[in-house]
């Protein structure tokens, strides 16, 4: 084969290789971010817990909570007939705020009564528990590891605080509507965490 023919062949082969290449974005550590497989299961491998919380807040948390929350009657029914295992649910209550617990300014709570029992609802700025994550149905197999799964709870709790008004003693005795997540365990609502909080007009 002549030299010119070799050159043409090599040029053609190079062009073919370049055509077959796909440019892949790199993450913050310089590692390639592979395009998602449309047949793969849902995964948050390439996202931080904060990014997941922000991305899913409206569609997977608020929209679901607004459309599939228990009212006071349904919550009372579940508290009276507790399940064998703890379960987390979304709840919407409208009623009187019995009191505001501001004894710890970093973990303020308002207290409402359901089924004759006080329910403490966290409003921040620090909120604890996994109620939001678990009520929204996040599954461990969607995550890289246990650490990322656990950190999502904290990220969701912090995201909730961003959308809540600050409460103080003036809320005591007033009517309010609260949308929150709670874990039902042995007939009690624990780790109740506010998502939306509004004082009703008298």
Among residues 96, 120, 118, the alpha carbon closest in space to that of 110 is found at 120
Which whole-number Å values give the CA distances from 125 to 19, 72, 174, 191, in the listed order? 53, 26, 21, 14
φ, ψ (nearest 5 deg) of residue 73: -65, -45
Query: Which helix (H) or strand (E) segment is 66 a member of?
Result: helix 63-67
pLDDT in tens, the chain (202 residues): 555 555 555 555 545 444 444 555 555 556 555 444 444 344 576 788 999 999 999 999 999 999 999 999 999 999 988 888 999 999 999 999 999 998 888 999 999 998 788 999 999 999 999 999 999 999 888 887 888 889 999 999 999 999 999 899 999 999 999 999 999 999 999 999 999 999 988 7
128 CB-near residues (< 8 Å, 6+ apart): 107, 122, 157, 191
């Amino acid at each position: 084969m002549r030299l010119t023919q070799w050159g043409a062949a090599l040029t053609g082969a190079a062009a073919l290789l370049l055509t077959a290449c796909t440019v892949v974005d790199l993450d913050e550590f310089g590692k390639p971010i592979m395009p998602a497989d449309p047949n793969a299961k849902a995964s948050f491998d390439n996202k931080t817990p904060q990014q997941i919380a922000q991305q899913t807040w409206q569609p997977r948390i608020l929209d679901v909570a607004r459309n599939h929350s228990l009212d006071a009657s349904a919550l009372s029914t579940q508290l009276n007939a507790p399940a064998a295992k703890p379960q987390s649910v979304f709840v919407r209550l409208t009623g009187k705020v019995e009191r505001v617990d501001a004894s710890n300014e970093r973990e303020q709570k308002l207290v409402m009564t359901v089924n004759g029992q006080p329910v403490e609802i966290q409003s921040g700025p620090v909120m604890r528990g996994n109620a939001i994550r678990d009520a929204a149905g996040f599954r461990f197999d969607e995550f890289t590891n246990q650490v990322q799964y656990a950190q999502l709870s904290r990220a969701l709790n912090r995201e909730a605080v961003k959308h809540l008004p600050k409460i103080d003693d003036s809320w005591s005795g007033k009517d309010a509507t609260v949308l929150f997540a709670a874990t039902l365990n042995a007939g009690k609502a624990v780790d109740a965490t506010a998502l939306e909080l509004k004082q009703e007009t008298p």
